[in-house]
Amino acid sequence: MVSLMSELHRLERRLLVALKDGTCLQIEELSEKTDLPEASVGRALMWLAEKKLIIVREEKRTTIRLGSEGLKFLKEGMPERRLVNTIIEAGGEISLNEVTELSDINSELVNIAIGWARRKEWLQIIKNETTMLKVKEEPKRDLEEELIQLLSTSTHFADELDPDFMNSLQLLMNRPNVIVKEEKLKRLVKLTAEGLALANMVQETEDVSQLTPEHIRSGTWRNIRLRTYNINAPVANYWPGKKQPYKRFLDNLKLNLVALGFEEMEGPIVELMFFNCDALFMPQDHPAREIHDIYYPEEPIYGRLPERELLFLENVKSAHEDGFNTGSKGWGYTFSTNESMRLILRSQGTALSARTMISRDLNVPGKYFSISRCYRPDLVDRTHLTEFDQVEGIVVGKELTFKDLLGVLEMFAVEVAGADRVRFRPDYFPFTEPSVELAAFKEEFGWIEFGGAGMFRPEVTQPLGVEVPVIAWGLGVNRLYMMEAGIDDIRKLYTNDLNWLRKQRLR
Amino acid sequence: MPTVNVLFNDLQRLVGQKLPSNQIELNEILSYVKGELEVFDGDELAIEIKDGNRPDLWNVEGIARALRGILGIEKGLKEYHIVGDSGIETYVDKDLRRIRPYICCSVVKGVKLDNEVIRELVHLQDKLDQTYGRRRKRSSIGLYNLDLIKPPIEYRSVKPTEISFTPLESEEEMNLKEILEKHPKGIEYGHTVEKFERWPILIDSKSEVLSFPPIINSNDLGRITEDIEDIFVEVTGTSYETVLNTLTLVTLSLADRGEQIYSTKVFYPYAFPSRDKGEDVTPHLKIKKIRLKDQYVKQILGLELDRKTILELLSKARFAVINSNKDSLEVIIPCYRIDIMHPVDVVEDLGIIYGYNKIEPRWPQMITFGKISDKEIFSDLVREIMIGLGCQEVLSFTLDSGENQKEKMNLKELKLVKISNPKTLRFTNVRGWLLPSLMAFLSNNTHIEYPQKVFEVGDCVLFDTKTSSGVRDVRKVSFITIHSSSNFSEAKSMLDALLHNIGFDYNLKTIQHPTFITGRVGRVVVFGEDVGLIGEISPSVLDKWNLENPAVAFELDLNALKEMISSKEKK
């Protein structure tokens, strides 16, 4: 019993209390008594009936209401009343012919009205040479008129009418269209014995869904019973604030690089050709510098180097023209310092490495990395973007060799990307020699090209004032994330799809 | 990178050894010449050569020449000899100095051409013109039927309408101007000459046109067919070294099939950086020498290689050695290795032939201090607070359209970095603020459950005359929320929470801003300095983005805030 009690809904409890005095009530009455909408009462009654706490008895009953003629009577008065009023207005006595003239009653109905008025003893008929109608005094409102008035408010059950009206009802029903009679189902609700027992218990404890500060403060929580919930019921969505998943991946990558002793580099989006290409020993007519590979701003077109760095510009010019003092023969063309000051949108992260090498703050030994947005004129589709992120890094140190380069690459593949083993292939970049391509094997993906690396050429390092070997590497970070997240459309990385972001699981 | 199409049998025959027909094993061998199979379809191979600086590997003869050394079939220097003087002379007109100053020529006799050889020749010619020749600007190649030419040849300039001839791939005679207007090659390469008043032409002593360099050959003298035995090769261009190297590469690709090379003479009326005016005999086919220290090899590769091993690797790389002493060698570089500029280029070859995968990787033992940049640390702090406030982080493109950045935000004035060569209308500018990116985001998600609360921390570029480039990157944070009852106080609560938690007091200054509702927008002021905006988005802006719910937003300049922290710390 007690367990049943705790399962009861707030609505059910209120109905039990309302039914406790043992009377049979209808839904309408219950609604009034409990101050609940009829729909809620109906719903709660269904639950109670299922639990066998109430019995619902159905009765067929007759209802009565005014018909079209009845409504007319209500508005204009009954014909016999209107007849009598006409006579009184005319002085109390009037000929039959005059009645038809003066009254607004349809002539066909006049005789019927006279009949009813006589039967009610409201008028006398005096038959001389002309038939005269006489009314002594205005008759009081009779029961039929009272009944019409009563029915004007709502539908009534015939069996609930005052017995005094029974005769009048019969009379009115004899007149066409005055009263409409209908059969209606009446549902009467009564508690079962078990229901009654429960109802008595409800009185002791109050049914509560939401515990309130008031309950706690006042101590009423002792007398209330907290309803148990269906804890498996579905609830509203909640969308937490969270990191963009690809950005989160980059954050983690950064932490890994920092753990390996790498320091973050910085550089501008609108970059000098000097850092993006020239300092990297890419000849000024290199195909990768043409408009189909690099974005050129309309404005500003040229930038400047700070005073201190102009010396490096001269060195770089010399490296291109005749190899500077590196022992290289250079590219053998006339270098344009003007072209070097051309501004572009950074097309490779290596520009940041060039900036770092030229910087006063360069540490030897040092390890540096950058995650930078780079730009190339490309149409956007499943596999191409016109801007993307590059992860690049350099290691600067006196004793560094190609062996160390391979060691750095292996460390990334294994520690950062979780690869099982690595493979190296010869590759080519204008700014590194030797150059190498890193492929890594992951059980679930097979062999994947991971990135490129190399040792900066002496024509790159020496003109920038770096006298020790520099290892440079770049990782295909977009691809690495796509693989990890199982994404095959590169556009998803910078997605506009909120639903996807909300539902993406973090790993 | 260039792709070389070869027949498997042809490659096998030229290498002189059976090659694996298994794709993985073949790829392994090709990796020694930086090659990777793109297509491996029975007999047809397409090999991508991943080295833009090794045109000697851009044809099957070159690949075979290198592989023969690597596989130990034919080691040491591959020498090419000039049989003699062809007697053909070319005279350069002085006008060419400003237009297209250099020409180098050779003659190759006893050629046995079939369709396959012609096809490969055309491919090589095209790759050299496109890549090494910078789309024919720096150099372009012409091949001719020697028998039809009546020397001496004149390399001179003419007015565009002065001369007419029938170009290749055409049946009608056209003047040079018509070729530039109508002929496919004229349309493609016209940019190399059209800025000049006079254009280059190559004609023989009977005034028969050989070609209109670098556009198109004559259909008579300049058409290569199977029955031709003797070929005249000419390369013109704007870089003498490139022109000479290109001639070497084309001439050798013919000589590798057993033909004989003859030299020619060119007479210049002007001097240029590498030579005096007068006679130039080409091709040169000269070897180069480079000094290589044993120690340098060890220092780069990190391998303890002894002299014997170094010599063996050099000979497999097809170099020769003379004048060796205790700690260095004089390495002889064959004429076709135009990529070798510095001893390090030779060292890479040695590393490749030794085998990258035989080298034991070593993690450099050096102690360095890892560090995230201050800018990123500050950005991460802001992101942490915004996420704590229940916002979804988004990441969008930094390129945007001017329409999104301005018109759709009701702005008339906003100076943006505009790209001069955009690829699509969607990405024409670098963004100057983040809010339009967030508006685009909301606009894409109108069918997704509200409320939506998003933010981005990202870079914008703004004009700034104080910087050396005239522009600077600005790291910003922008927040927006959209739902049926969003209002100013909601955004202000968020702003309060953010600024308080990152250590700033602020006040708001009422302003007019067309993106926002008048009277519901303000500047965010910290230490008397404007650092951002906050406001309710104007319904006319919402309308432009097809948004049907009110939205409120703020945007802050994180560079400015960060600088305040730094200057406070200094004090």
Confidence of residue A205 (pLDDT cuts 50, 70, 90): low
- The dihedral region occupied by B474, where left means phi > 0, alpha psi between -120 and 50, and beta the remainder, is beta
Distance of CA B352 to the CA centre of its chain: 24
d(C-alpha B444, C-alpha A9), whole Å: 43
Convert the pLDDT of each residue in B321-352 to its tens digit.
Answer: 998 898 999 999 999 999 999 999 999 999 99
d(C-alpha B544, C-alpha B515), whole Å: 11
Confirm whether A143 is domain-assigned. Answer: yes
Q: Answer yes or no: do A85 and A219 share one domain.
A: no
Convert the pLDDT of each residue in A170-195 to its tens digit.
Answer: 888 888 888 888 887 778 888 888 88
pLDDT surpasses 80 at B219? yes
C-alpha atoms less than 13 angstroms from C-alpha of B388 in its C-beta half-sphere: 12
Contact A444, A338 (CB under 8 A): no
Of A207-211, A462-466, B65-69, least confident by mean pLDDT is A207-211
Q: Answer yes or no: do A322 and A469 share one domain.
A: yes
Tokens 């990307």 found at: A417
Q: Using DSSP, state whether B126 is helix, strand or coil.
A: helix
CB contact under 8 A, A457 and B398: no
Confirm whether A15 is domain-assigned. Answer: yes
Residue A380 structural domain: 246-503
Q: Answer yes or no: do A189 and A82 share one domain.
A: no
Distance of CA A390 to the CA centre of its chain: 35
CB contact under 8 A, A287 and B421: no
pLDDT at A345: 97
Convert the pLDDT of each residue in B498-507 to its tens digit.
Answer: 999 999 999 9
What residues in B contact A243, CB-CB < 8 Å? 383, 387, 393
CB contact under 8 A, B357 and A424: yes
d(C-alpha B410, C-alpha B521), whole Å: 14
d(C-alpha A467, C-alpha A193), whole Å: 101
pLDDT surpasses 70 at A206? no
E strand or H helix at B88: strand B82-92
Q: Answer yes or no: do A143 and A268 share one domain.
A: no
Contact B62, B14 (CB under 8 A): no
Q: Which residues of B268-290 are buried (b: 16+ CB within 10 A; e: fewer)?
A: beeeeeeeeeeebebbbbeeeeb
E strand or H helix at B517: strand B516-526
CB contact under 8 A, A403 and B301: yes
Of A73-77, B204-208, B353-357, B450-454, least confident by mean pLDDT is A73-77
pLDDT surpasses 80 at B301? yes
DSSP string computed for B172-237: S-EEHHHHHHHSHHHHHHGGGTTTSSSEEEEE-TT--EEEETTTEEBTTTT---TT---EEEEEEE
Mean pLDDT of A215-228: 84
The overall average pLDDT reported for chain B is: 93
* A62 Cβ contact partners less than 8 Å away, ≥ 6 residues apart: A157, A158, A159, A181, A182, A183, A184
CA–CA min distance B561, chain A (Å): 18
CB contact under 8 A, A496 and B31: no
CA–CA min distance A34, chain B (Å): 35
Confidence of residue B178 (pLDDT cuts 50, 70, 90): very high
DSSP string computed for B373-422: -HHHHHHHHHHHHHHHTTPEE----SEE-HHHHTGGGT-S----EEESS-
10 Å Cβ neighbour count for A161?
Answer: 16
- The dihedral region occupied by B15, where left means phi > 0, alpha psi between -120 and 50, and beta the remainder, is alpha
Confirm whether A240 is domain-assigned. Answer: no
CA–CA min distance A305, chain B (Å): 7
More confident residue, B479 or B285: B479
d(C-alpha A411, C-alpha B503), whole Å: 39
pLDDT at A98: 81
Amino acid identity, residue B19?
L
The overall average pLDDT reported for chain A is: 88
Above pLDDT 70, what percent of chain B? Answer: 99
The angle that helices B294-301 and B343-354 make with each other, rounded to 10 degrees, is: 60
Mean pLDDT of B192-204: 92
Contact B470, B463 (CB under 8 A): yes
CA angle, residues A196, A199, A202, in degrees to nearest 5:
160
pLDDT surpasses 60 at A2? no
CA angle, residues B511, B513, B519, in degrees to nearest 5:
55
Whether the bond between A234 and the residue before it is cis, its omega within 30 degrees of 0, is no
Q: Quote the DSSP letter at residue A303.
A: -
List, in sequence order, every residue forming a beta bridge with A424; answer none if it has no partner.
Answer: A438
Tell me the residue ranges of DSSP E strands in A353-457.
Answer: 366-375, 387-396, 421-426, 432-442, 446-456
Confirm whether A236 is domain-assigned. Answer: no
Convert the pLDDT of each residue in B135-155 to its tens digit.
Answer: 899 999 999 999 999 999 999
* CATH, residue A345: 3.30.930.10
Above pLDDT 70, what percent of chain A? Answer: 98
Confidence of residue A33 (pLDDT cuts 50, 70, 90): confident
Q: Answer yes or no: do A30 and A155 share one domain.
A: no
Mean pLDDT of B356-370: 93
CB contact under 8 A, A426 and B348: yes
More confident residue, A164 or B482: B482
Mean pLDDT of A399-419: 90
Domain finish residue from A226, A258, A293? A226
Confirm whether A328 is domain-assigned. Answer: yes
d(C-alpha A376, C-alpha A290), whole Å: 11
What residues in B contact A376, CB-CB < 8 Å? none
d(C-alpha B59, C-alpha B508), whole Å: 70
* B336 Cβ contact partners less than 8 Å away, ≥ 6 residues apart: B56, B62, B248, B249, B252
Q: Answer yes or no: do A201 and A220 share one domain.
A: yes
d(C-alpha A81, C-alpha A26), whole Å: 39
10 Å Cβ neighbour count for B558?
Answer: 22
Q: Answer yes or no: do A279 and A166 share one domain.
A: no
Task: State whether the Cα torsion B370-B374-B378-B383 is positive or negative.
Answer: negative
Mutate to test the interface with B, among A406, A408, A478 (most CBs of B within 10 A): A406
**Closest-CA residue of chain A to B289:** A329
Q: Using DSSP, state whether A424 is helix, strand or coil.
A: strand
* CATH, residue A54: 1.10.10.10
Task: State whether the Cα torsion A367-A371-A377-A381 is positive or negative.
Answer: positive
Q: Answer yes or no: do A72 and A28 share one domain.
A: no
The angle that helices B60-70 and B23-30 make with each other, rounded to 10 degrees, is: 90
Tokens 């708001």 found at: B508
pLDDT at B571: 60
More confident residue, A437 or B52: A437
pLDDT at A221: 84
Q: Answer yes or no: do A112 and A197 share one domain.
A: no
pLDDT at B418: 96
Mean pLDDT of A27-53: 85
Q: Using DSSP, state whether A252 is helix, strand or coil.
A: helix
d(C-alpha B51, C-alpha B62), whole Å: 13
pLDDT at B383: 98
C-alpha atoms less than 13 angstroms from C-alpha of A262 in its C-beta half-sphere: 27
Full set of structural domains in chain B with CATH: 3-70 (3.30.56.10), 82-282 (3.50.40.10), 288-356 (3.30.56.10), 374-570 (3.30.930.10)
Most confident of A22-26, B314-318, B564-568: B314-318
CB contact under 8 A, B395 and A494: yes
Q: Which long-range contacts (CB under 8 A, 24 or more apart) does A41-50 make?
A: A41/A11, A41/A15, A43/A11, A44/A9, A44/A11, A44/A12, A44/A14, A44/A15, A45/A15, A45/A189, A47/A9, A47/A11, A47/A12, A48/A12, A48/A15, A48/A16, A48/A195
Report the number of distinct structural domains present in chain A: 3
Distance of CA A156 to the CA centre of its chain: 49
Confirm whether A231 is domain-assigned. Answer: no
What's the complex ipTM? 0.91
Convert the pLDDT of each residue in A103-146 to its tens digit.
Answer: 777 777 788 888 888 888 888 888 877 788 888 888 888 888 88
Q: Answer yes or no: do A426 and A289 share one domain.
A: yes
Q: Quote the DSSP letter at residue B31.
A: G
Contact B375, B419 (CB under 8 A): no
Mutate to test the interface with B, among A496, A499, A503, A506 (most CBs of B within 10 A): A496
Q: Answer yes or no: do A51 and A85 share one domain.
A: no
Confirm whether A155 is domain-assigned. Answer: yes
Q: Which long-range contacts (CB under 8 A, 24 or more apart) does B358-361 make?
A: B359/A402, B359/A403, B359/A406, B359/A424, B359/B301, B359/B302, B359/B303, B360/A403, B360/A406, B361/A403, B361/A406, B361/A407, B361/A409, B361/A410, B361/A422
Confirm whether A443 is domain-assigned. Answer: yes
Q: Using DSSP, state whether A222 is helix, strand or coil.
A: helix
What residues in B contact A244, CB-CB < 8 Å? 392-395
d(C-alpha A398, C-alpha B20), whole Å: 42
E strand or H helix at B534: strand B529-537
CB contact under 8 A, B347 and A502: no
Most confident of A107-121, A277-291, B211-225, B461-475: B461-475
pLDDT at B89: 94
d(C-alpha B418, C-alpha B380), whole Å: 29
Cα dist. B548→B38, B145, B411, B463 in Å? 52, 75, 21, 34
Confidence of residue B417 (pLDDT cuts 50, 70, 90): very high
Most confident of A263-272, A489-498, B59-68: A263-272
Q: Quote the DSSP letter at residue B538.
A: P
CB contact under 8 A, B395 and A244: yes
**Cross-chain CB nearest to B470 (options A239, A285, A303):** A303
pLDDT surpasses 60 at A204? no
Q: Answer yes or no: do A198 and A276 share one domain.
A: no
Mean pLDDT of A331-342: 93
